[in-house]
A and B are shown apart, each in its own frame.
Chain A
Amino acid sequence: MAFDSGLAVLVLGVAVWTIAARDTFAAVVGFVAYGLLLALAWVRLAAPDVALTEAAIGSGVTGGLLIGASTRLRRTETAAAGEEPGPTLRLAAAVLCGLVSAGLAAIVLMLPEPAPTLAPQAAANIAATGLGNPVTAVLMAYRAIDTLLETVVLLLALVGVWSLAPDRVWGGFPGPRHHADPDGVLTFIAQLLVPLGILVGIHIFWVGSVAPGGEFQGATILAAMWILAMMAGLVDAPPVSRRWLRLLLIAGPAVFFAIGLAGFAMAGAFLAYPVEYAKLLIVTIEIPVTLSIAATLALLVAGPPERAPHR
């Protein structure tokens, strides 16, 4: 309990810092710390699957994305300083936000007893999926349509990002070209970490069927390693018009959707799996989904095309 109180105070402390820091870069550093502390909180709340996701996405990849943006926008900081709202507006905002917090806190204190739960249903039906991890079972079986739509949402976000490219570079390379310095430290780090990271990513994905982990966490690590290789200049980002890239991006949702449709024939409903093949089908979906998510996340971080394609 003392540990939890201390952790909660720390989380609130870095949150206040993230809001109050003068310098945007300092605020981003606070946000990375926030994600990491939340990952610890998720372990304490007996949600290791969420802890893995938070450590990978909430802190890691989002942190990398925000840092890139904050260093690019550095010069605009002073210009924005004059546009801060006056004391009256700040006070009104503080009162409003205090009320929102108080309302939510009251709800937390008044949550029904005993708490409603779907855990017994999940436990009763997990055998039908052949999986050992209830969270993966929920993601891939009972709420599979959510997960299918989520992969589509990621693609839509990527289409949104790409659509911001100026016409002359449409279909070109995302982000600046980084050049590898053969003796550089960054090159060395990338050469060292990328293979290890790919291994860890596959491990996290693979254990997801029986233990905490799964396609989102594994895919995020793979994405981070691809971005690291791009930053170090070991590989260039592919032009977004490449056919193999487009195929890679839609492979996951397409296979997911196809097996979902096959569910009508095999088990009488969309995304229903026949019991004897459930695990095989789920893994068949998960492998392309992992690769597609990894590619989508990496390209979301890489941003819209900035350099015209070679012709």
Chain B
Amino acid sequence: MTLTYHLQIVNLLAALLLLISFAMLSQRRIVGLVTLFAWQGAALALSTAIVAWSTDQHHLYYSAAITLVLKVVAMPWYFYRLVRKLDVNRVVEPMINIPTTMLIGIVLVIFAFNLALPISEMSGTVTRSTLGIALACVLLAFLMMITRSKAIPLVIGFLAMENGLFFAATSATYGMPLVVELGVALDVLVGVFVLGIFIFQIRETFDSLDLKHMEKLKER
């Protein structure tokens, strides 16, 4: 009964994703964040590939490839470059201290599972329980965005969220139609480029990436 193996592996990878999300939540250094992000992408690509192989949905291979290229190679490299160039790799104190964040995170995970439970019951796919994990990843990434006050961590959080979504797309439902996935990938790519431009502009305008400088626009 080989299928169960795949199932187990996918579940394992799902757990891994969740773990990495938590790690990101607790990670203080930007470089570390980028690394974790890369690993998350890798896990994602792997799981996608496995799902593709186990249910021979060929277009999932493409998605896996795209993920590999974009999220494991291109973006981390780009971010490393950015960090080196702007030399912003110091310890980033999150706005809420780590333990509290973790606690909130756990609560979120439980919430996500409860939310996903009735749905994954009726799921016809081999990988049923993954939806909850995907949702958890999304919420955790969201939480991370909330807690970080620097530009790059914010962006990474954003992309981590995208990872979660992608995981949901692939594992919970065997991938969206190819066109959609291509479109999504394209958007992500463009988005990252725009972000890159931004971060440079922010850097040269405020000569810092600390978002505390960007709180001018408000009701006074």
- Decide whether A and B are members of one complex: no
List the interface of chain B (C-beta within 8 A of A): none
